[in-house]
């Protein structure tokens, strides 16, 4: 039903077992893992009138995800999910926007992908992953089909589940974008996906949304407005005017996929806004791997880094020696020690 958003308030008398399953669902990124969590939520939810809505919602999601995982039948063989891109790199960011805004052109320019580009709307039909290099790390950018008042792929919300942020791409030279943005926000909100200006690493004046923590299926995604085709619209203030008119407070970048103008800013914006922390590792007695950092988000620990190296290393980790801005050279720290950008960590088992 368009234009209506139902919020499910969590009944207060759920069991700790249910809460744990719900927490695991929120954190799960892989579709199969999310399906297991949903089943666990259904198993542990107290069965009474107060949870009827939530039970129904969980069942619908189990049904959809099961279908999605089964994939289309091809010659009797079932394929895996084709609409959810497995996250890789420092973070996953999806391109969302109206038809013809230049999402695929940006994707191709930023990642070197061969995403289809066309002078007509509805060119892109499937998610296309690609990697945007930034210093010594990569961000994964996922090109998506357009969202409009007429059309949104049924699987689009599923594709957004694992993402860390959204590039809301518009054609700033097209006056229609004034109507297109609210329509996109509304279509996503109907499916409980909310684009927010609140990135973890940016100061935000946006007040906390009510019910945010209550509905396990609510998806809050930080978004940056990408005002594309600036080569066709020479007014540098255009995007500010647009945001004022629409009463939006997204951070914004004015760019051109055609000339490349403004695109250099994107990597550093994502790095700051997502609070990416790069950590270099070494094993005792071996040289440091200074080429390829592991990445966590601010608040990540030595144990989180060890887990990225290998789960057995995380399991057996006793302590670490660290070199970096916040420690003295070779300082011994425990697994729970917070890491900062540029740290070198020697893992001891």
Ligand X SMILES: Nc1nc2c(ncn2[C@@H]2O[C@H](COP(=O)(O)OP(=O)(O)OP(=O)(O)O)[C@@H](O)[C@H]2O)c(=O)[nH]1
Binding site for Mg ion (CB under 5 A): 103-104, 123-124
Which of Mg ion, ligand X, none interacts with 121 (beta carbon under 5 to 8 A by kind)? ligand X
- Say whether 282 sits in a helix, a strand or coil: strand
Which of ligand X, Mg ion, none interacts with 231 (beta carbon under 5 to 8 A by kind)? ligand X
- Is-contact 46 14, C-beta < 8 A? yes
Q: Could you give the C-alpha distances from 128 to 85, 95, 106, 273, in angstroms and in order?
A: 8, 10, 12, 23
Q: At what angle do helices 16-27 and 31-44 cross, to 10 degrees?
A: 170
Single out the residue of 317, 349, 322 nearest to residue 333, CA to CA: 322
Q: Does 100 bind ligand X (CB under 6 A)?
A: yes
CA 101 to the chain's CA centroid: 20
Nearest distance from residue 197's CB to ligand X, in Å? 22
Q: Does 99 bind ligand X (CB under 6 A)?
A: yes
Q: Which range of residues in 47-55, 63-71, 122-130, 312-320 is near ligand X by CB under 6 A?
A: 122-130
User: In terms of CB distance, is 94 or 279 closer to ligand X?
Assistant: 94
Q: Does 257 bind ligand X (CB under 6 A)?
A: yes
Which of 14, 65, 101, 188 contacts ligand X by CB under 6 A? 101
Q: Does 111 bind ligand X (CB under 6 A)?
A: no
Q: Does 231 bind ligand X (CB under 6 A)?
A: yes
Which of 104, 158, 281, 295 contacts ligand X by CB under 6 A? 104
Nearest distance from residue 193's CB to ligand X, in Å? 18
Residue span 146-185 as binding mask against ligand X, x where in contact by CB under 6 A, dash where not: x---------------------------------------
Q: CA 288, CA 205: separation in Å to the nearest integer?
A: 41
- Is-contact 104 145, C-beta < 8 A? no
- Say whether 289 sits in a helix, a strand or coil: coil
Q: Does 112 bind ligand X (CB under 6 A)?
A: no
- Residues near ligand X (CB under 6 A), total: 23
- CB count within 10 Å of CB 51 equals 19
Q: Does 105 bind ligand X (CB under 6 A)?
A: yes
Record the tokens describing residue 242, joined without a space.
């647009």
Which of 80, 118, 182, 334 contacts ligand X by CB under 6 A? 118
Q: CA 251, CA 196: separation in Å to the nearest integer?
A: 10
Which of ligand X, Mg ion, none interacts with 29 (beta carbon under 5 to 8 A by kind)? none
Q: CA 34, CA 10: separation in Å to the nearest integer?
A: 19
Read off φ and ψ for residue 189, nearest 5 degrees: -65, -35
Binding footprint of ligand X on the chain (CB under 6 A): 97, 99-105, 117-119, 121-124, 146, 228-229, 231-232, 256-258
């Amino acid at each position: 039903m368009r234009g209506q958003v139902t919020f499910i308030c969590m009944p207060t008398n759920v069991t700790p077992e249910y809460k744990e399953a719900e927490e695991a669902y929120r954190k799960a990124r892989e579709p199969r893992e999310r399906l297991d969590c949903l089943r666990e939520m259904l198993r542990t939810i107290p069965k009474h009138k107060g949870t009827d809505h939530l039970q129904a919602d969980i069942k619908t999601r189990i049904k959809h995800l099961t279908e999605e995982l089964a994939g289309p039948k091809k010659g009797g063989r079932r394929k895996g999910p084709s609409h959810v891109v497995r996250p890789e790199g420092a973070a996953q960011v999806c391109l969302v926007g109206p038809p013809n805004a230049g999402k695929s052109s940006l994707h191709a320019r930023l990642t070197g992908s061969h995403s289809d580009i066309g002078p007509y709307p509805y060119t892109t039909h499937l998610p296309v992953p690609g990697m945007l290099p930034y210093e010594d790390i990569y961000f994964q950018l996922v090109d998506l089909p357009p969202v409009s008042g007429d059309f949104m792929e049924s699987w689009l919300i599923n594709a957004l589940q694992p993402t860390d942020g959204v590039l809301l791409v518009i054609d700033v030279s097209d006056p229609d974008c004034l109507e297109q943005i609210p329509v996109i926000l509304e279509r996503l909100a109907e499916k409980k996906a909310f684009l927010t200006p609140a990135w973890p690493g940016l100061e935000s004046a946006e007040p906390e949304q009510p019910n945010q923590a209550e509905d396990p299926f609510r998806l809050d995604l930080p978004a940056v407005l990408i005002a594309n085709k600036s080569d066709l619209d020479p007014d540098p203030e255009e995007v500010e005017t647009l945001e004022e008119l629409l009463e939006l407070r997204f951070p914004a970048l004015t760019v051109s996929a055609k000339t490349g103008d403004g695109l250099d800013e994107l990597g550093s914006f994502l790095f700051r806004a997502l609070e990416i922390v790069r950590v270099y590792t070494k094993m005792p007695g071996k040289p440091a791997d200074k080429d390829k950092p592991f990445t966590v988000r601010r608040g990540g620990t030595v144990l989180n880094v060890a887990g990225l190296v290998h789960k057995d290393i995380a399991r057996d980790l006793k302590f670490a020696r660290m070199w970096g801005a916040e420690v003295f050279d070779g300082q011994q720290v425990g697994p729970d020690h917070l890491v900062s950008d540029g740290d070198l960590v020697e893992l001891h088992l």
